[in-house]
Amino acid sequence: MLQALQQPWPWYVAGALIGLIVPALLILGNKHFGISANLRHACAACFPAGIKFFQYDWKKEIWNFFFVGGILAGAILTTHLIPDPHPVQINAALARELAGYGITDRSSLLPRELFSWSSLFTLRGLIMLVGGGFLVGFGTRYAGGCTSGHAIMGLSDLQWPSLVATVMFMAGGFIMANLLLPFILHL
């Protein structure tokens, strides 16, 4: 069993498990899958009076806190208790391209040259971490949900706004990865 946890699962296993979450949530209590709503629930729990947007019965959605807590616990367990001694395997052409940007550390899923406290205080770090975080937060609120909520739950419910949002998420990702990111990484 431990050996099965020490290697990545095939996409078709993980995909099927994620896909089974949608009907399970609907059957078990008409719940909707998504991560970004948890920020609203947390704010409603911490600031019960004052802002009208946070005045609702957030306790009906407390299962979301356990869901996100499970994601965090799983991430901590897999990165600290089951360390992978091998560097992240990527295509050789991508490794050469990243090396051209000064990104050579593949010892973890997130390269330290981009995701560390020291890189946060560089222009590149501010743009990517702070600016990117703001844009993701704003976009999530503006789109009425995050990628998991729209692409997994909304598409399975055949909701037109979720299809539009998912297409825009993908288009934005392609534009960022192919046009903007190479420019930012040269900063």
Residue with tokens 């999530």: 140
> What is the distance between the alpha carbons of residues 26 and 22, in angstroms, rounded to a whole number?
6
In a domain, residue 88? The reply is no
Beta carbons within 8 Å of 35's beta carbon, 6+ residues apart: 68, 71, 146, 148, 149
In this prediction, residue 153 carries a pLDDT of 85
Burial 66-97 (b: 16+ CB within 10 A, else e): ebbeeeeeeeeeeeeeeeeeeeeeeeeeebee
> What is the distance between the alpha carbons of residues 37 and 62, in angstroms, rounded to a whole number?
11
In a domain, residue 138? The reply is yes
pLDDT higher than 70, residue 4 = no
118 and 180 fall within a common domain: yes
Assess contact for 39 and 7: CB atoms under 8 A.
no
Q: Which amino acid is at 155?
A: L
Average pLDDT, the chain: 83
In a domain, residue 46? The reply is yes
Average pLDDT rounded to a whole number, residues 88-94: 87
In this prediction, residue 77 carries a pLDDT of 81
pLDDT in tens, 33-52: 778 888 888 888 888 777 88
Where among 31, 62, 83 does a domain terminate? 83
- Number of independent structural domains in the chain: 2
In a domain, residue 162? The reply is yes
Q: Which amino acid is at 156?
A: S
126 and 183 fall within a common domain: yes
In this prediction, residue 82 carries a pLDDT of 67
In a domain, residue 154? The reply is yes
122 and 79 fall within a common domain: no
125 and 67 fall within a common domain: no
> What is the distance between the alpha carbons of residues 149 and 35, in angstroms, rounded to a whole number?
7
2 and 71 fall within a common domain: yes
Domain interval for residue 71: 1-83
pLDDT in tens, 136-183: 888 887 888 888 888 888 888 889 999 999 999 999 999 998 898 888
In a domain, residue 38? The reply is yes
In a domain, residue 89? The reply is no
